[in-house]
Chains A and B, each alone.
Chain A
């Protein structure tokens, strides 16, 4: 079970972007985008911010902590 949920695929497809196109816009490989969408790989903060910027949304709209994460 991943430590980070994401809506990357939903947001990407809403904007009509392929994985390759999104990957090219943020300077990573298509495989990286694929592994992030499948929650196999957790991106760095910088890459997460780049992805949010490329999609035109806040990083919090793309990535969320799972509901089971204990609060403060």
Chain B
């Protein structure tokens, strides 16, 4: 049985993570706009996250060890690391931003928690997707 290529594995990973990032971004933004912690069923971002993980795992299994290692070479780790840095600072900056919003009464606590969590995830997922699609750090 022919192995999945490293290129295809990378493409599947990119699409899965980008889609999950967009769903998380939509959830967080919708929560803030609608003023509710569940703008749409919360199982949707969960399904995208879990489904992406499963899809990537199965694809890596189908690709085999060598192709999986090629798909996770040092450029991949550099892109991932850069995205983690961006995600870290976005997550950190959310505390003062949402702190002001909460203190000013612009947003309720449940909405803030829903938005902060999903937007933090979106920051990493989307920045990695952009770096990975563009190529290079």
Measured CB to CB, the residues of A under 8 A from B are 23-24, 27-32, 34-35, 38, 40-41, 43-44, 47
Contact = CB atoms under 8 A, between A and B. Distances in A.
Nearest to A23: B70
29 contacts: A24-B70, A27-B66, A27-B73, A28-B70, A28-B73, A28-B74, A28-B75, A29-B10, A29-B70, A29-B71, A29-B73, A29-B75, A30-B7, A31-B75, A31-B135, A32-B73, A32-B74, A32-B75, A34-B135, A35-B75, A35-B135, A38-B136, A40-B135, A40-B136, A41-B136, A41-B137, A43-B74, A44-B74, A47-B74
**Which applies to chain B's interface (DSSP): helix, strand, loop or mixed?**
helix
A39 B137 CA distance: 11
A29 B136 contact: no
Interface of B: 6-7, 10, 66, 69-71, 73-76, 78, 135-137
A38 B75 CA distance: 13
Given A31-B10, A38-B136, 17 more contacts: A24-B70, A27-B66, A27-B73, A29-B6, A29-B7, A29-B71, A29-B73, A29-B75, A31-B135, A32-B73, A32-B74, A32-B75, A34-B135, A35-B75, A35-B135, A41-B75, A41-B136
